[in-house]
């Protein structure tokens, strides 16, 4: 059912189906200012720390996390004929930065940094990224590091099927410095690409250093809140947020854009309404 008027929004916000959640994550060691850091494995009062995703060789639907997995912010699917939308979000933390709420639609681990061979995802086409759009519209590709992979500069290439069902590639230029465990980096999609249907493989242009462990995380960003003053934070209502839709089964997770070599303790409040 559509939100046609402000009264529709108010009635949904006051309904018993409105969902109020608070997430708290302890400070993580980050790469530094201007770098993204995942809070997926971070411990906190809520939600519990998640577990490292299964390897890319695992032929299982568990590579597509939902609202039911450990580590996801609690979210109850809307009833049939209604839709869920983010009505309010607040974030505060001990370190200046920006906090992102996103839907973690597909993830894996297990890629190695010490091989130049193509590392092919097992039966990837059986697990298309179709939460919200069957063609993967709006899905972004990120690398998430679970173990350091060395310091030699190289290009990491992700092969994937795009929204037009063509095989294309996204890239990341790995610097002459190892990534911090927990760091996330966004891959550069080709010009005109609007999303990812499903991933196919990872290839590195060179090898050296530790094998490490990294994975692909495919996400749809939902909202973000700036922390412009440490321990104060900010809050956005539905108008500032753009009243974004939250898809059924969404695996809600957090990521932070850092301003220092730590994320600080982070607290996030959300209100999701349904109509």
**CA dist., res. 212 & res. 48, Å (int):** 25
Into how many domains does the chain fold? 1
* Domain presence at residue 109: yes
DSSP one-letter code for 8: H
Question: pTM here?
Answer: 0.93
**CA dist., res. 145 & res. 196, Å (int):** 20
Tell me which residue range forms the domain holding 248: 6-274
* Domain presence at residue 1: no
**CA dist., res. 226 & res. 96, Å (int):** 8
* Domain presence at residue 121: yes
pLDDT exceeds 60 at position 180: yes
pLDDT tens column, 187-218: 999 999 999 999 999 999 988 778 999 999 99
* Domain presence at residue 102: yes
* Beta carbons within 8 Å of 166's beta carbon, 6+ residues apart: none
* Domain presence at residue 201: yes
pLDDT tens column, 107-136: 999 999 999 899 999 988 887 777 888 889
* Domain presence at residue 163: yes
**CA dist., res. 275 & res. 270, Å (int):** 17
């Amino acid at each position: 059912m559509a939100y046609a008027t402000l009264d529709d929004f108010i009635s949904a916000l006051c309904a018993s189906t409105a969902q109020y959640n608070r997430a708290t994550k302890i400070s993580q060691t980050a790469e530094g200012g201007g770098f993204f850091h995942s809070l997926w494995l971070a411990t906190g009062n809520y939600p519990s720390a998640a577990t490292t995703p299964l390897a890319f060789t695992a032929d299982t639907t568990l590579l597509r996390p939902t609202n039911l997995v450990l580590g996801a912010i609690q979210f109850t699917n809307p009833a049939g004929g209604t839709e869920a939308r983010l009505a309010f979000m607040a974030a505060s933390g001990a370190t200046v930065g920006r906090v992102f709420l996103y839907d973690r639609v597909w993830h894996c681990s297990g890629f190695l940094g010490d091989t130049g061979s193509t590392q092919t995802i097992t039966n990837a086409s059986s697990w298309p990224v179709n939460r919200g759009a069957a063609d993967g519209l709006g899905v972004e590709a990120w690398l998430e590091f679970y173990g350091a992979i060395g310091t030699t500069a190289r290009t990491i290439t992700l092969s994937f099927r795009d929204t037009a069902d063509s095989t294309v590639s996204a890239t990341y230029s790995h610097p002459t410095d190892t990534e911090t465990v927990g760091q996330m980096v966004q891959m550069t999609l080709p010009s005109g690409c609007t999303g990812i249907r499903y991933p196919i493989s990872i290839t590195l242009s060179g090898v050296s250093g530790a094998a490490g462990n990294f994975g692909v995380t495919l996400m749809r960003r939902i909202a973000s809140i700036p922390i412009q003053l440490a321990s104060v934070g900010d809050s956005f209502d539905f108008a500032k947020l753009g009243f974004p839709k939250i898809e059924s089964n969404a695996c809600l997770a957090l990521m932070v854009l850092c301003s220092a070599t730590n994320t600080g303790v982070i607290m996030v409040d959300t209100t999701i309404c349904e109509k």
